[in-house]
Amino acid sequence: MSFPFIFRAGALALACASTASASYVILDDFSGPNFFENFYFNTTLDPTHGFVEYIGAGNPLLNSLAYYDPTTDTAIMRVDDNKTYTPGVDTGRPSIRAQTINTYQYGLFILDLAHMPGNACGSWPAFWTTSMDHWPEQGEIDIIENVNLAAQSEQTLHTGPVFPGDVCEVVGNVNTNPGQETGTQISYNCMWNATTSDYGTQTQYSGQGCSAANNNPNNFGTNFNAVQGGVYAMEWNDEIIQIWSWENGYAPADIANGTPDPLSWGNPIFTTWGGNCDIARHFIDQTVVFDTTFCGDWGNAAWATSGCYSEQYPTCSDYVGANPGVYSETYWAVRSLKVYQFSNAAASSSTTA
């Protein structure tokens, strides 16, 4: 594997490839009272068409929805759980979409959470990376994501064709790769509008991407919070993307020690290994994102079968607008987000603006 480039605040760091003394070294550590100095609040309309209003600087709600909590040493990102909102009149329930100022090309991303949004009808929380300028051609990596009352997170890639006939598919545990993932592969074609795949099941819905369900204990929502959170890790280089998770207290010791070694972690939940996808071509200039939207394309589509539908609330937006109190647990509490780059002590390195 090679790990050629990491973008950081406009600078390009080149780590030369070699096998001697190769390891991950810290690039960015987002934690503590300065957490939000490394993020900006995106206030554009939700691209998934959710019943949500992303707020930012100048909004009087900002300081109550995004702040550092010194009692828990965590960065908090909440949604409004006080007011009702009317579909067709209001934009939606206020929420936070925080994005890193830095843009990355490859790295190891390790998120230590004390709390993620708990399960709630209409809620769609996500921790992910994407290209802000060229979606889907430059890719999206969904590390934590699901909707409504789902008990498991899903890990998903979305790509777009770089040229006509381009493909990006994963194999999961099928064919010659049994047991390489601990997750359950749901769909195999990562192209954003694909409905068929050469691997696994032959049909999927347009917009699904290639997705795996996380089978690890207490990995999402209310169950995750009941064990005081946990750790997610995503490794991305020019040959592979893979994702792991651990509930609180079970992450490998090398993560806490600041010397993460993915080769020692065992099989990931999700991996692109063995598939048919040029990672270097399909995943470029990724920004890290935390958000919680409501309803949206996925949440609306799943509303009828979510266990949330009722005659009183025939649409997801009706429910979200009328029930602020159910979202008191809809918040992220981040202990740290650390980004590592691959380095080699035996090789020289250079930086180019």
Active site residues: 140, 145
Torsions phi, psi of 74, nearest 5? -135, 155
Torsions phi, psi of 77, nearest 5? -130, 110
Is 264:252 a contact under the CB 8 Å cutoff?
Answer: yes
Name the residue among 41, 46, 36 with its Cα closest to residue 59.
Answer: 41
Fill in the DSSP letter of residue 151.
Answer: S
The tokens describing 252, both together, are 């490998």
Helix (H, G, I), strand (E, B) or coil at 78: strand
| Pairing relationship of beta strands 230-236 and 52-54 according to DSSP bridges | unpaired
Q: Where are the alpha helices (DSSP H) in the chain?
A: 62-65, 221-226, 253-256, 279-282, 296-301, 316-322
Burial 303-329 (b: 16+ CB within 10 A, else e): beebebbeeebebbbbbbbebbebbeb
Residue 147: Cβ within 10 Å count? 28
**Which residue is associated with the tokens 């990724």?**
286
Name the residue among 132, 181, 122, 184 with its Cα closest to residue 153.
Answer: 184
Written as one string, the DSSP assignment of 162-212 is: SSTT--EE--TTSTT-TTS-SSEE---B-BTT----SSSSS---TT--EEE
Cα 29 to chain centroid, rounded = 17
Helix (H, G, I), strand (E, B) or coil at 63: helix
